[in-house]
Homo-oligomer: A and B are copies of this chain.
């Protein structure tokens, strides 16, 4: 097939729209792309992002040019580092003639943890996300981290003669913060608020340790969410936050939930 030069094909998206409705956000979602994230221990960590890239569309344009979002990602060659997030949004604004550009990037992130007694190392995964938006005069940035923890029920412990129900809970925190706050610092702050934190690898002395530690630190979802709030309040690099805790209750099929924001 003879190659058709782009300029000879009509630009439908660039046409005029007379419905007089501006579109808040338009673009691509669920774009999967390799990326790199700053890693406190190793310098850089390779991971895989799930990207939403969006811009606003003024009322007089019929459509946006979807392929340009992918081109901008492609300019970063096989990998996309978060240090270039502001540059990415600036490029999107320029290429798409938009006032505001938005990025949401979800990615798994691994941190090495050492078992509490045996000190054996292993890798623990945390689901993270970056959210950013940029206009001509502003840049907003927030981080979301999901931290699985152990919670042990204070009521169950108090009323029972032996044992106490406990379970996996998930703390999801979204913070607006200074750029020098490490993902690792957010994770550590959250894990310190649990009945006990989780480890991929636990030998028997470790299992004894985490069992007893959880039993000695019973926490409702209400307790965890408040402790995380207090920890975040003590951190001056965190400007505002939302925290939710959801317990996969071991005695129910439904979940217990608590949410705080500041």
Give the residue name and chain of the B residue nearest to A79 (CB).
B46
Asked if B205 and A155 sit within 8 Å, CB to CB, the answer is: no
Chain B residues closer than 8 Å to A166, beta-carbon distance: 163, 165-167, 250
In Å, the complex CA distance between A209 and B23 comes to 29
In Å, the complex CA distance between A21 and B200 comes to 29
**Does A179 interact with chain B (Cβ within 8 Å)?**
no
- Residue from A11, A64, A254 having most chain B Cβ neighbours under 10 A: A254
Identify the stretch in A92-100, A114-122, A184-192 within 8 Å (CB) of chain B at 4 or more residues: A114-122
**Does A38 interact with chain B (Cβ within 8 Å)?**
no
Chain B residues closer than 8 Å to A204, beta-carbon distance: 6, 9, 11, 155, 159
In Å, the complex CA distance between A7 and B3 comes to 42
Q: Hey, what's the 0/1 contact readout for A39-68 against B, CB within 8 Å counting as 1?
A: 000000011100010100100001110110
Asked if A158 and B31 sit within 8 Å, CB to CB, the answer is: no
Copies in the complex: 4
Majority-rule SS of A interface residues: mixed
Given contacts A6-B204, A24-B261, A124-B253, A167 and B164 within 8 Å (CB-CB)? no
**Does A176 interact with chain B (Cβ within 8 Å)?**
no
Asked if A34 and B212 sit within 8 Å, CB to CB, the answer is: no
Name the one of B29, B57, B250 contacting A168, with C-beta atoms under 8 angstroms.
B250
In Å, the complex CA distance between A133 and B28 comes to 33
**Does A234 interact with chain B (Cβ within 8 Å)?**
no
**Does A86 interact with chain B (Cβ within 8 Å)?**
no
Name the one of B22, B29, B260 contacting A257, with C-beta atoms under 8 angstroms.
B29
Asked if A252 and B202 sit within 8 Å, CB to CB, the answer is: yes
**Does A240 interact with chain B (Cβ within 8 Å)?**
no
In Å, the complex CA distance between A62 and B202 comes to 19
Chain B residues closer than 8 Å to A207, beta-carbon distance: 153, 155-156, 159-160, 165, 251
Name the one of B52, B54, B168, B211 contacting A163, with C-beta atoms under 8 angstroms.
B211
**Does A152 interact with chain B (Cβ within 8 Å)?**
yes
Give the residue name and chain of the B residue nearest to A228 (CB).
B21
Asked if A158 and B12 sit within 8 Å, CB to CB, the answer is: yes
Give the residue name and chain of the B residue nearest to A149 (CB).
B250
Asked if B248 and A71 sit within 8 Å, CB to CB, the answer is: no
**Does A239 interact with chain B (Cβ within 8 Å)?**
no
List 8 extra interface pairs beyond A29-B255, A70-B201, A124-B253, CB under 8 A: A24-B259, A25-B257, A63-B154, A156-B207, A160-B211, A163-B212, A163-B214, A200-B252
Among all A-B residue pairs, the 7 with the closest Cβ atoms:
A163-B215, A160-B211, A32-B125, A46-B46, A25-B259, A70-B201, A31-B254
